[in-house]
Chain A
């Protein structure tokens, strides 16, 4: 697992109160991990803080699964 994926998993476990084993790349924040719309916004903000980047709203809306978050961050974090 990449360093980014590890950090993403830790954030999701902390914010959504889920088990680490549930946080698979295919897992959807809302359908599988119990997030509501506010939780999802908070996750994006935590990613921005952790990786010191800014994720524009139109791109944030495309991030719905753990894998999508990891892919986006790996491509955009310097």
Chain B
């Protein structure tokens, strides 16, 4: 089978450090932290009282009030980031074959706020079930893809991937695969998440997954630092327009990068703990390299999952050393979650965009908040601590791993 080539022709981002792709990159390259005390609810009784929230967003500037009311914030974020990506792509909706255009979106949880609000209202009532008719269609994770198809008229494959923090990357790989196989020409892809709610923070707190550094939110996300104490919950969305190469070329589209390979594996080990030797993580990077027909030496930059948890960061670096051997020391490695926090199902999407910018600008975004070395990490690894580094990047790899033991890697190639 002759596989088609897949390129990125539009990007959009709504993140804790910038509400457009360009602002997001400015934040990343300048080492800006998006963490601050939680404003969405009173978190004073919670173990963790800060998060990486989206800031200064007036939803009604983007979405009609009547429509916005029927959307959970995770769908609103999807609509806003996709609008930016679609405009950026220059796609003419009158000219494309919309039966060959689809939406594969990612969300780890879906409408958590909607679920929380409806169940809270029910449980504080007299037992009479007065659920809002929009409860279910607002809450279900796939509704984001549904709304996007309605807005743009895309009638091709349409669904949402749910693999926790790997969801965004899963979505990209699925869209990539369908285009590669000739099943569609265009996909809106990426992911969104809006879990900064009482249920989200309380739930992750109960797992001891979140940093509790309340006295210093902006330094709390510190991947690979000796004193890392968990991830910082983030929210937002990243959108990528994936397009078949000849289709993009024929319409003279601006091409950001080529998506050249993807891998998906499972740890088959534990519901939340990563495999201690990073088995799933090493196999997924190997599979992505094979898929892209590349050698480990071809990779210049790895945007790691690197959530700033005590165990996760260790397994991932072990896996990188296993897969890349001596070349591991020549790589630039960084965790942009040190700045954005962990956007769960949107993480893979915004980190793919980070990789694309890094290649096109020749700048590796840093792992900020490095204070104290941890001897478990090989000091010969270049983890791009604290300041962005200049580097020509031809191939960038992005890892995301999710609760449930899901692992995903994608590889982007610089487009010349």
Contact = CB atoms under 8 A, between A and B. Distances in A.
* Majority SS at the chain A contact face: helix
B130 A45 contact: yes
B133 A45 contact: yes
Interface string A39-74: 101100100110000100000000000000000000
A42 B133 contact: yes
Interface string A1-36: 000000000000001110000000000000000000
B128 to A, nearest CB: 8
Nearest to B130: A45
A48 B66 CA distance: 21
B66 A16 contact: yes
A42 B70 CA distance: 11
A75 interface: no
Nearest to B137: A38
B351 to A, nearest CB: 36
A39 B67 CA distance: 11
B133 A17 contact: no
Contacts of A49: 130
B133 A41 contact: yes
Contact of B132 (A16, A17, A45, A54): A45
A17 B130 contact: no
Contacts of A48: 130
B134 A38 contact: yes
Contacts of A15: 69
A41 B134 CA distance: 9
Interface in B69-107: 69
A38 B133 contact: yes
Contacts of A41: 133
Contact of A17 (B64, B128, B134, B137): B64
Interface string B128-145: 101011100100000000
Pairs of residues from A and B, 3 with the lowest C-beta to C-beta distance, nearest first: A17-B66, A41-B133, A38-B133
Interface of B: 64-66, 69, 128, 130, 132-134, 137
Interface of A: 15-17, 38-39, 41-42, 45, 48-49, 54
